[in-house]
Amino acid sequence: MQAVNISTESDAFIGTSTVVKNTFNLPEDTTIFWAGSRIYAKRPCNRDIIVSKIDIFCEGTLEKGEYIREKSIPLSSRIPPSTEERNIAYRIRTEISMVKPGTRAEEEYFFAEKPIILKARPPKTGKFNPVEVSIKGIKIHMDKDHFQPGETINIDYELESFKDLQVELIKNANLSCRCPDYAPSCIHIKPIPPSVEKTVKASNLTTGTLQIPLPSSIELSHRYIWEPPEKTHWKETYGDHVNWVLKITGINTSGEIVEFQIPIIIYRKQTPEESELFTSKQAPRPILQKILVPDLIQIVSHNKNNKRLSVSFKNNSKEILTGVTVKIIPIESEFFELPPFLTGLNKWEPGTEIKAFHNNVGTNIKNFQILIEDNHGNSISKRLKIQ
């Protein structure tokens, strides 16, 4: 039996979040240090970088059995989208750290992971600007500077005494990465020269229109720079950019070469479904949504002896609750959360009582936040104040 299993969608949009169903199968009662989900990318040096994370279990004890938790992992709008061209790929990994059997402190890790494709969020369309350029006998006109995949770029031109004119669609793209080892200059990122994607030449050297059809699979213009929310001395970043320009090259009858560039934007409109998703900024709700009325879970009694707290709860519902965890969080001065402790039970029958513990709450702590969760998606918060 595999200790950890995960299930999630194969792709997600950055700027939203993705739901991961995590299943932990414990063959025996155990003490755990931590469990959580992480989304990893590979740096250019092939080392992992965590771009998003969420905790599932804190330190505590879990009975033998199955524990299922569905969690939403946020995806920052600054995360670069997946692309094979520059080897930007991501994977979700859920792991649990437990006390190794036969020891009191050694850690033993179990994990499961799967790839996930992070899609670019269609950018908000900026103002479309007409283009008018006149340089040394070359006059260029374009109705706009924003184009969609599959669209055709129309370039109107007028020439005075020219024997050649060509327009190149040029892409400039590369990764960026900053870390404590290499700071801003990563030795593993090699310069990528601009690539010519399309070239068209004028047949009429006085006036006409050049057309550049854009592929439906063309990369969108973008610039993403992700950085961790926790600031460190060396600011870490992970980014990607794609810029597009039209390079105009003309040779006049005297042999002089005239060159200049026109920046353009490749964009894609949001679909109605995407627009609704990004407006709400919500991920799909977890599949397991069996919500109990909080009053059906009752705090029956509590006992605090020095630093140890014991709390008894009663299941007044008609439901058999499975994979139950009770997290006790001490609150200091009504504002600061102290390290929590988790108690897990395989099954909680209707009408019965269970006990949860915290072994180090401090002698002066009177307030506690309690979170009860189970395999059906129930999540109940309780507040306990000791007089």
pLDDT tens digits, one per residue of 74-126:
999 999 999 999 999 999 999 999 998 777 777 888 999 999 999 987 766 66
SS3 344: strand
Place of tokens 């709390």: 311
SS3 of 279, please?
helix
What is the arithmetic mean of pLDDT over 354-360?
A: 94
The CA distance from 66 to 57, in Å, is 14
Location of structure tokens 């009662």: 29
pLDDT at 289: 56
CATH, domain 4-119, list 1.10.1040.10, 1.10.645.10, 3.20.20.10, 2.60.40.640: 2.60.40.640
Contact 56, 338 (CB under 8 A): no
Residues 170-222: tens digit of each pLDDT: 999 999 999 888 877 888 998 899 999 999 999 999 999 999 999 999 999 99
Tell whether the model's pLDDT for residue 363 goes beyond 60: yes
Element (H, E) at 276: helix 272-280
Tell me the CATH number for domain 294-385.
2.60.40.10
> What is the four-CA torsion angle of 7, 12, 18, 19, rounded to 10 degrees?
-30
Q: Quick check: 116 and 51 in contact, CB under 8 A?
A: no
| pLDDT in the model for residue 106 | 76
The β-bridge relationship of strands 336-337 and 321-332 is antiparallel
Do 155 and 169 touch, CB atoms closer than 8 A?
Answer: no
* 3-state helix, strand and coil shares in percent for the chain, rounded to the nearest 5: 5, 55, 40
pLDDT at 291 (0 to 100): 67
Q: What is the mean pLDDT of residues 35-43?
A: 96
Question: CATH says 131-268 is which class?
Answer: mainly beta
| Alpha-carbon radius of gyration of the chain | 29
Q: Are 171 and 242 in contact (CB under 8 A)?
A: yes
C-beta separation of 59 from 83 below 8 A: no
Strands 107-119 and 11-13: parallel
Token pair 């669609």 is found at: 169
* Tens digit of each residue's pLDDT (9 = 90 or more) over 121-153: 776 666 789 999 999 999 999 999 999 999 999
The pLDDT, as a whole number, for residue 283 is 46
Q: For residues 32 and 62, is the Cβ–Cβ distance under 8 A?
A: yes
Q: What is the mean pLDDT of residues 55-67?
A: 96
Q: Which tokens hold the place of 338? A: 């102290």
pLDDT at site 335: 76
pTM of structure: 0.86
**Residues 373, 233: Cα–Cα separation, whole Å:** 37
- Predicted pLDDT at 139: 97
Residue 198: name the closest of 141, 266, 131, 258 by CA: 266
User: How much is the average pLDDT of 43-72?
Assistant: 95
257-266/146-147 β-pairing: parallel
Domains 4-119 and 294-385 share a fold: yes
* DSSP secondary structure string for all residues of 306-329: TTEEEEEEEE-SS--EEEEEEEEE
Task: Give the helix/strand (H/E) hosting 140.
Answer: strand 138-142
**Of the candidates 25, 107, 104, the residue with the CA atom closest to the CA atom of residue 66:** 25
What is the spatial distance between Cα 142 and Cα 153, in angstroms, rounded to a whole number? Answer: 8
Domain ranges of the chain: 4-119, 131-268, 294-385
